[in-house]
Chains A and B, each alone.
Chain A
Amino acid sequence: MKFERQLARRNLSRRPVRTAALILLAAFLSFSVFAGSMIVLSLQNGLESYESRLGADIVVVPYEARSHGTLESILLQGIPGYFYMDETYLDKVRAISGVESASPQFYLASASAGCCSVAVQIIGFDPDTDFSIQPWIRESYSRDLGDGDVIVGSGITVPKNRTLRFYNQDCRVVASLDQTGTGLDTAVYANMNTIQALMAGSQTEGFDYFGGADPQRTISSIMVKVKDGCSIESVANDINIHVRHVEATQAKTMVSSIAGGLTNVSRIIGGLTAMIWALAIVILILAFVMISHERTREFAILRVMGASQRMLSGLLRWEAAFISLVGAVLGVAVGALVVFPFSSLIRGKLDLPYLMPGSGVVLGLLVGSVVLAVAAGSLTSAISAYRISRIDTGLILREGA
């Protein structure tokens, strides 16, 4: 075994161009598996995170906001937006049968948050009635959010003095939330008093977001939780029928529209990966068959020198294993260099929730991709190993003489 291994290593180092070409092919194989799987897993992870962060059964927004897809832009892409309705809609929604709780949210787009920033989305919530934001705020911050305090998404870099300035008012950053892979990562969360102070500040600064309405009596959306046993669909329909000028959408519907896009992207990536795999495996099989054909005389001489047929097959298998291992490690390393540092760019280009899986999954994927590429490489060499195990030594040497 040791002899076969050494001979295989020497064979490979004596043919650097051939070895490099085969390593490149194996690297391509493991790169496609690793990078493709990482992107698909991150998309699935992002969708799960988005689903859990919505936290409500039904989202009610002014009709114009729904028709222009503003809410999705805010939640998915983090594009700051705002839309308002009168707070009396809150009582109307609460009066619908089947509604267990309804909580208002306020959306305000900041003009700027100081140096090196673009506008951010400020989301206000009512701590007394909120059930959708506070549960995951508590994962990072256990105390009550005071007036003038804000919590920022993971994507916002907190200044050293932990203060962000919006509309000429300083807000103290008390915590940063975990990454969600959605537009919520670039949002800022505040309680009702803070957001109303900021709304008033925006008016003082000359920004007319409210179209003449009283900012103290306006809200942006209503998050609705449906009573156990009631149909979410029928409650949403009831709201749409009985409350005019608003649109109630099931959270499930919002998620499923994204899931559709995600399935398409996953299918394309999966298809490309499968194509690359099929192509690389066929090329590897052909390469090994051609190489073994070219080396028939070399194998015949080894047989004459006393090498068994099993030893020759072993030699080929070791060569394939070395090539696949080096190529797989190289491919996975290049994949990691693309997928990890450029994750923010990939997320931006895909326009879908994108959240990297945990380190355990990543490690499993790294090892899995290497193992898969080595197994594929070893399997492709099996055909040539079988071929050379059947060579007629005497005939080949006589033909060559």
Chain B
Amino acid sequence: METKKRRAGGCDLLLLVLSVVELVGIRTVFRPCGPKEDGSWMNCHWAGQAVTGIAVCLVILSIAHLLTGNRGMKLGLDVGVMVLTVFSVLIPGRLIGLCMMPDMRCHQLMTPGVTVCSVLVLAAAVADAALIGRKGKRHEV
């Protein structure tokens, strides 16, 4: 697991792009329902805030992943990304409740959008970890 200078790979860039898509998505296309008439927020707003926080962490981890050349560190960052994506799937509707009706924005757009983005980030992290594992084995040989 030596430190080695190398160019940013496809997985590094993919992780960063997908994390940014999740962050931008939750603030725009997949944003939760708006405030109520009295100005107060519904449950899904707090779920959206939590997902935003996770997406920010994902972007930071992805940037670190892009910048570091150490395979062990990359692997560690991948594991961190995987754990965060699981939480980001669980937050809307499971860890934090959403609105009552299924035809509301948080059910129709936020939950599926966050789920799809998180699954894609998770898949990219798993693929990257698998590639690092394979390269590590080759180096040992």
Contacts and interface: CB of A to CB of B under 8 A. Distances in A.
Interface of A: 78, 113-118, 120, 155-157, 159, 185-186, 337-338, 341-342, 344-345, 348
B104 interface: yes
B100 A116 contact: yes
Contact of B103 (A116, A337, A348): A348
A76 to B, nearest CB: 12
B98 interface: yes
A116 B116 contact: no
A155 B43 contact: no
Classify the secondary structure of A's interface with B.
loop
Contacts of A117: 99-101
Contacts of A118: 101, 103-104
Contacts of B113: 341
Contacts of A157: 97-101
Contacts, number: 59
Interface of B: 33, 42-44, 97-104, 107-109, 111-113, 115-116, 119-120
Given A115-B43, A342-B112, A78 B103 contact: yes
B108 A116 contact: no
Contacts of B111: 341
B101 A337 contact: no
A120 B42 CA distance: 17
Given A337-B119, A341-B112, A115 B103 contact: no
B44 A116 contact: yes
Nearest to B105: A345
Nearest to A113: B100
Contacts of B100: 113-117, 156-157, 159
Contact of B108 (A115, A156, A345): A345
A116 B102 contact: no
Contacts of A342: 108, 112
B102 A337 contact: no
B115 A341 contact: yes
A186 B44 CA distance: 19
